[in-house]
A and B are shown apart, each in its own frame.
Chain A
Amino acid sequence: MYDILNVYLENGLRVVMHKIPHIRTMACGVWIKQGSKHENDENNGLSHLVEHLMINIENDSNPRFKNLINEVSSEGIVYNAGTTKETTSYFFTGLSNMLEKCIETLSTIVIDNKTFSNKLIENEKKVVSQETISFYSSFNQIIERTSQALWGNVGVGRIIVGNIDNINHAKVNDLENIIKNSYTPENATLVVVGGIDYQKTLDIIEENFSRWKDTETRNYKEIVDSEPGIYFNTGGGGKSTVISIGFRAPSYMDIERPNIDIISKILGDTSLESRLVQEVRMKKGLAYNIGAFTNFYENRGTLGFTAVCSSESVNEVVKIMMDEFHKVKTKGFTEKEINRVKKVLETRTLLDLDDLTSQLKFLGKCSSNGQLFSLEQEIRNINKINSESLHKTVQEMFAEEKMGLAAIGNCDIDNVISLLKFN
């Protein structure tokens, strides 16, 4: 049995707890619905900067946090934070006897941080700028660029690290506004998993989070571009090109999600068995880096297939990728392929079940998306997948009207797009 307790405090804060019997460890975290999709052209990147500042141990404006974070660190608590397109999260993992201190620390992060000194902001701007420059200097950005191509430079198409100029020119007011408008109890979820007692944990939470004032949250309506598009940058004219063929996919909560994960793995998993690795790398030696990825959000998702190759080989690689998509549409997958990948996904999910931080993040993500289910349910969904359901998903997904393209490198983009046809 997998029990999840979901309660709301009077101020609107959602609390999700999952008790795992017979263990002495716990993980807890707060998820705020504030990510790059909530930003605009002028403040794209600032949610991420705020995240850095909120958890900065040099923040003299919040002495209580400074003391608490030193205390929990010295007791071996591991903490981290993250910004995605949809959320900003802060989380702690450690022994269950530190739960109270961790929840208190979380409360000081999200409730007591209202502003920051100029000195702290200027220093963190440099750090975040460096992180951002590293991101934009790597082919790894292709995953985000694919979402940008598919959904536009709005909503979930916005890049998390954002615009370097926005970061460099950020003012204290810009950051305070993000906190004021989105760090509210009704816009947050507190998740606790591990060796916990529900009532005691709830008492601790109430004691620390009831003081969070129920202020108004900014209004947000998600917008994306009407049609999938293209991202292309010559990337300084190097010898390599990274290319990503993307498809608009359904949301995190959609019943098709496990199917899309299976499709991505059979076709483009980095393991040597996947079809694209076989065809592009093993048989033709055209690329070393071949991959596939899925990103699922509250209202939509992205499926992408990537390859890094020499600029001269791009056309050939794209032809092979399109041929494989055609084959899947017409001939489907073999039972052997399906069963192998189902086992891979099941194993990955079971490994996540044994990892408290993974469980915490899973519950944080699905509760932020408005629904709760367990990792065991994930396994049940994976096991239900069969060739018929995959065939249906493939027919829906692999269509020109859902396709977009991201490419960085010195390739002939006109030739590339002429190859991307299903009909």
Chain B
Amino acid sequence: MNPMIDKEENGHHIIFVGEIKEEWEEDLVLAADIMAKAGRSPPDGSILEALDRKGGSAVMEFQPQDKVDLIVKDRKFFRITPGGGGFS
């Protein structure tokens, strides 16, 4: 199976952060930019999770400074979620 996906017909990547639709021309996008476009202004401790389907399970997580490769499989649906944590 080819893990790569093609761009949409107009040459843009169409992704969804929750219910918010975003279009990106670039293949490689900063996670912080994806979050910002969805209305979140990092860095605030939030991370971006790539999901296997809309509302699905997280398959990868990105810190705001990470680059997200939109060509790779499972980079269509995302959610923003609180990062961080520890144990006591």
**Is the A/B pair a real complex?**
no
What residues make up the interface of B, taking CB atoms closer than 8 Å to A? none
